[in-house]
Structure 1
Amino acid sequence: PVDRALFHPVDGARSGDALRVLMLHHEYAWKGVREGLEAIAAVKARHREVRLVGFGVRSPREALPYDEFHENLPQEQLAWLYSRCPIYLCPSWDEGLGMPPMEAMACGAALVTFDNGGCRDYAMDGETALVAPRRDVGALARALERMVGEPPLRERLARQGQAFVTSRFDWDRASARLEDIIREGS
């Protein structure tokens, strides 16, 4: 579940002319960082206003083309970072129920993701996100390019994605569902 008291749009977080795309950095190959960097490079070649913002528990071991990087942020600052970036890119090949994409959506970011399994609960292509086939970097780049180049689409998906995750994945709803399951089992 998403903590709505923490993860919501932060007033004043978005500023400047840059269009920031946020991506989680992780050393595990299946997190898709290489594929994400390849997709963003293709988009940045045509859209100079795009800036790649990375975040993670640790900074990358090697020099990577992040325009800015945020290391080991506390959750309150994560909410600000999610709110600052209008697009969240999730290039993971496989995921469970991924919290960072849902938290970013709750903060008003539009999601571009691979169909990584876990996202199917909240990322409906063309409704709450743009979803590319798993590990198809060309399709991921095209989806990201659409999100960058079509502001009305980006705004609609951000609005619908935020409404979906905040209504379906909050703690009150999860607690009530768990109580129902326990009652049914007793």
Structure 2
Amino acid sequence: MEFEGFNMNICFVLPGIARGPVGGYKVVYEYANRLVKENNNVSILYLNQDFLKNYNVPFFLKKMGARFLMWLEPTWFKLDHRIKKVSNLDKKYKKQLGRLDVCFATSAEKTVYEVDKNLSANKKFYLIQDYENWNIDNTKLINTYKVGFKNIVIAKWLKKVVDKYSKDESILIPNAIDTHLYTRKVPIQKRRNHTIALLYHEAPHKGLKNAFQVLKRLKQQYPDLEVTMFGKFPKPDFPNWITYYRNASQEKTVEIYNSVKVFLCSTIEEGFGLTGIEAMACGACLVSTNYKGVQEYAVDRYNALLSSVGDIEAQVNNVKLIFENPDIQEELSSNGVSYTKNFTWTEAMKKLNDAIEE
């Protein structure tokens, strides 16, 4: 079959329904939206076998509940209405998908097996967004790179890892952001000075324990410090100087990014770090640990202030440096906005279509 980039039947396979913002899902949804606009037929297959797994409910209720949630979600992202959402709990889900030209596995858990064993497609890809050894051991994870799909990676460091084990060289397509949505609307000097935003995430590798230590020390030195957090988890018992938004929309996160001087990231390890680059695009000064993923877009002392993972004192000092130096604020903010313009969806889609049509 000849691939012309249009009128193809394309499917992304996701490991269940995300009730709140998830970076990996967001990237898939962005690709899906743009492929639909290029006149392709796009489906998203949700692997819902674990839906309500902790509850003793009849299968038909489980199936109906999953179907309702698929219709409802994502509430946090504007997914094109032309995209077909399919559940693997439906007996005829393969028939609903139709004959696939292109199929994407999107995670090590569940989706690689589904695409490999249960779905037929002329071309199969594996979109790898992190070294996903959270719930599977390293051997099983590495074996997913060897299945034989065309691997796509979102970071240079990840490409080095995957290419060690895969049969063919992977394709590097760095994550992109919507540079029309994520923009600097409020100049850095017009924002309240002692303000910080960060992502709240309960996974240990996100480094929130360290971030809270940084915030507590800063609050002691700046009594007027105001912190804004957003995330998908229920609101924790925060002190009153921390404002929390659960399941914030894209528009709300843009508002948050534009309201603060600093975006703080204490991540231990992560594939890329979308919130960091989004905040930079909105003019916030990024203070981050120097984990592998952030190195894809952050350059220390140019568009961000980076420090060793786990170094609490260094992050405190970097925030203070920004708070107390308007010139550094302006330089980091302006360089961040300029640099992030390199990460456009136009470029990402060109690379993806080239890979599909190869």
Smaller-chain TM-score bracket: 0.7 to 0.9
Which digits, 9 at most, give the CA deviation of each residue in 1:63-87, with x for residues without a partner?
4575211111111111111111121
Output the CA distance in 1 between the equivalents of 2:241 and 2:234. 11
Residue deviations 1:24-55, cap 9 Å, x none?
11111221111111112222222233211111
SS class of match (2:268): coil
Secondary structure (helix, strand or coil) at the match of 2:309 reads coil
Deviations along 1:148-184, one digit per CA (max 9) or x if unpaired, are: 2222112210110111012x1111122234455567x
Letter in 1 for 2:231: G
What is residue 41 of structure 1 aligned with on the other side?
216
1:149 counterpart (321, 324, 348): 324
Residue 12 of structure 1: how far off its partner (Å): 9.0
Query: Structure 2 counterpart of 1:41, which letter?
Result: K
How far has the Cα of 1:19 moved from its partner? 2.5
- My pick for the range that moved more, 154-163 or 47-56, is 47-56
What is residue 313 of structure 2 aligned with on the other side?
A: 138
Counterparts in 2 of 1:81 and 1:87: CA distance versus 1, 3 Å: same
Q: Which residue of 2 aligns with 1:116?
A: 291
Q: Which structure: greater helix fraction?
A: 1
What amino acid is the match of 2:346?
A: D
Residues matched between the structures, number: 183
State yes or no: 1:23 paired with 2:198. Answer: yes
Question: Paired residue for 2:259?
Answer: 84
1:97 maps to 2:280: no
**Whole-Å Cα distance in 1 between the matches of residues 196 and 206 of structure 2?**
16
Report the AA paired with residue 70 of structure 1. Y
Q: Could you tell me how far apart the structure 2 residues matched to 1:144 and 1:114 are?
A: 12
C-alpha deviation, 1:8, in angstroms: 0.9
Q: Using the TM superposition, give the Cα deviation of residue 89 of structure 1 relative to its aligned residue in structure 2, in angstroms.
A: 0.3
* Aligned residue identity for 1:44: K
Q: Distance in 1 between matches of 2:337 and 2:248?
A: 22
Greater Cα radius of gyration, structure 1 or 2: 2
Matched residues in 1 for 2:337 and 2:187: separation? 18
Residues in 2 aligned to 1:173 and 1:88: alpha-carbon distance in whole angstroms: 26
Gaps of 5+ in 1: none
Identity of aligned residues (%): 25
Q: Distance in 2 between matches of 1:99 and 1:175?
A: 17
- The one-letter code of the counterpart of 1:170 is T
C-alpha spacing 1:128/1:44, structure 2 compared with 1 (3 Å): same
Higher relative contact order, structure no. (Cα contacts within 8 Å, ≥ 6 residues apart) = 1
Residue of structure 1 in register with 2:227 after alignment: 52
1:13 shift after superposition: 10
The answer to whether the 8 Å contact 2:193/2:261 transfers is no
* Secondary structure of the corresponding residue to residue 181 of structure 2: coil
2:314 is equivalent to residue 173 of structure 1:
no
CA distance in 1, matches of 2:264, 2:296: 17
Asked if 1:32 corresponds to 2:217, the answer is no
Give the corresponding residue for 2:248: 73
1:56 CA drift (Å): 0.8
2:84 counterpart residue number: none
Query: In 2, are the aligned partners of 1:18 and 1:49 still within 8 Å (CA)?
Result: no
Any gaps of 5 or more consecutive residues in structure 2?
Answer: 1-175
Q: Give the Cα separation in 2 of the matches to 1:66 and 1:94.
A: 28
The one-letter code of the counterpart of 2:204 is A
Q: TM-score normalized by structure 1? A: 0.87
